[in-house]
Amino acid sequence: MDERNKDLPLIVSEMLIEMHEIKGDMREVKTALQQMASLMLKQQQHTNDQFRLLMEENRKNTEFMVSAFREEAQATRHRLDDQDGRISKLENN
């Protein structure tokens, strides 16, 4: 072999070893990314579930408040109607 190329097999073998190690590292990175993506998906699903629960509770609370205000408004309307009726009777007598 030519003197200039005598280290070539060693260099090539070192490069192949490095490439193999890089390939292994890339597999580890890919696995880690897949695990992270899976965790992020689970976290997003949990967040969505919590948001849906919050929205449902908000809807229930709003319905309860509207119902309570409606009942109070109806009671007030009845008291006002009674007062108007009494005033009309007094005015007509």
Residue whose token pair is 């695990």: 35
pLDDT on residue 1: 54
Phi, psi (degrees; rounded to nearest 5) at 78 = -65, -40
pTM: 0.58
Task: Name the residue type at position 8.
Answer: L
CA distance 48 to 34: 21
pLDDT digits (tens, 9 = 90+) for 16-55: 999 999 999 999 999 999 999 999 999 999 999 999 999 9
> What three-state secondary structure class fits 40?
helix
% of the chain with per-residue pLDDT over 70: 98
Tell me, what's the pLDDT at 29? 96
